[in-house]
Structure 1
Amino acid sequence: MKPLSPSQRRIHQAALRLFAEKGVSQVNISDLAQEAGVARGTIYNNVENMEQLFKQVASQLSKEMHERISKSFADLQDPAERLASGIRLFIRRTHEEPQWGAFLSRFAMSDASLREMLSSQATSDLLSGLQAGRYSFRQEQLIAVISLVASATLGAIFLVIEGLKTWREAGSDTAELVLRSLGIEEEEARRVATTDLPALAPLG
């Protein structure tokens, strides 16, 4: 993944905040320059148009989160623990970075790279868990199960954004219910969903 320059990173961070708040079509060059704290010329030098910028921001966000999740799971072997931790890491990051969560909540189902971010790690853990007999669902149900995991995670993110649940409550409840839907017994699902959560690995 090609690293962003300092100016590009400021523009991307500003765009994420503005897109989450206003939507893509309502953001203009002046808004972006002001939010990023850069000159309009810097925006023109780095941004082709808002639609293209949105795609770049979504793609970069997806790649970064996928990289950080993968590193965070280096010591986790159990597919159920990995799946539960992945769900909870997304929800905890929403608490720590509300505008990141708001961006994801608004666009995750309509953008391919964001959908990939939500589903890629989960797919691996679901397949390995199924093959190991950890989960109970039919192979042909995989796409529906991936959708269930992604939808449940986004629902929990919404609860945190709206202040209806703490990230710990939303994360543990969602992870437990997802595991139970996959055939994990209630007591074990609760244990896995409330175990100590690994830190989200930094970039680089």
Structure 2
Amino acid sequence: MTDRPASPRPESPVEPLTRGHKKRARTRQGLLDAALRLFSRQDVAATALQELATEAEVSTGTIYNYFRTREELAEAVGLALASEFSETITELSEGVSSGAQRLAIGVRMFIRQAQADPQWASALVRVIHFDRAMHSKLAGYVLNDLRAGLAEGTLRYTDEGIALDLVVSAATGAMRATLDGRAIPDHDVRVTEMILLALGATAAKAKKIAALPLPQGD
């Protein structure tokens, strides 16, 4: 006796967003935007939720409907800041086979974004300093590229954890330099070249990879 193929189960209808859901999403986004403005001006640890209420022009009670602590708020802002941009970099790098080159693209684009949007960069740097989990989230985006660069023989490092810290710390340090007005010409290229050298790339490969044209979106 052969088993009959199971009849396909009917898909559950997707419930449309109600006005309440849409309003809640708008309010949450408004709080994140207000937190971004605050974190671009002052340290996360110095920011009280009452200040967020004032910045967002809502009641303190409204804040607690979305974020119970400053730590929850900082994590949400950090995810919003880093995740969307990191996903954009991943999409742009999709056709690049070299892990070392993908790593270089990511570092350069984060530095260039700091030059283009100081408010974004200032808030991101402060959140990373405040929230170690945010540091780990950013490191997660470069882990596969590090491993691929090692497997292909371009990179030669002995400790993965140190390599991760090196990339994230150097990239955020370069963002700080940009914000402080200490960036040099071709800052993104120079920092990336030094990161690749520190990760074991030869001087010739580090120089070549760091200076490759960045991928362009549609």
Bucket of the pairwise TM-score, normalised by the shorter protein: 0.7 to 0.9
Higher relative contact order (CA 8 A, sep 6+): 1
Match of 1:159 among 159, 174, 177: 177
Point out the structure with max Rg over C-alpha.
Answer: 2
1:64 to 59, 84, 95: 84
Equivalent runs, 1:190-201 vs 2, <5 Å: 190-199=207-216
Question: Equivalent residue for 2:30?
Answer: 10
* Residue in structure 1 matching 2:124, options 104, 112, 134: 104
8 Å CA contact 2:100, 2:145 repeated in 1: yes
Identical amino acids, percent of aligned pairs? 30
- How many residue pairs were aligned? 195
Pairing 1:27-66 to 2, within 5 Å after superposition: 27-29=47-49, 31-36=51-56, 38-40=57-59, 42-66=62-86
Partner residue, 1:177:
194
Give the aligned residue type for 2:96.
Answer: L
Check 1:8–1:102 CA distance in 2 against 1; reply closer, same or farther (3 A cut).
Answer: same
1:176 positional shift: 0.6
* Alignment TM-score, normalising by the size of structure 2: 0.77
Aligned equivalents of 1:34, 1:26: Cα separation in 2? 15
- What residue number does 1:90 align with? 110
2:166 maps to which residue?
Answer: 148
Question: Cα distance, 1:84 vs. partner?
Answer: 0.6
Quote the RMSD (CA, aligned, Å): 2.6
TM-superposed deviation, 1:183:
2.9
1:78 to 2:110 alignment: no
Partner of 2:205: 188
Q: Structure 1's 182 and 10: CA in aligned 2 closer, same or farther, altered over 3 A?
A: same
- Displacement of 1:35: 2.9
Contact 2:82–2:124 (8 Å) recurs in 1? no
Task: Return the letter of the residue paired with 2:113.
Answer: R
Q: Deviations over 1:60-115 (max 9, x none)?
A: 33432332222121111111110111101111111122122112222314424421
CA distance in structure 1 between the aligned counterparts of 2:175 and 2:217, rounded to whole angstroms: 16
TM-score by length of 1: 0.81
- Off by >4 Å, runs of 4+ in structure 1: none
Residue pair 2:45, 2:130 contacting (<8 A) in 1 also? no
Task: Please say if residues 66 and 117 of structure 1, whose CA atoms lie closer than 8 Å, have aligned partners that are also in contact.
Answer: no
Could you tell me how far apart the structure 2 residues matched to 1:134 and 1:106 are?
32
Report deviation, 1:44. Answer: 5.0
- Give, in whole Å, the separation in 2 of the partners of 1:72 and 1:116: 22
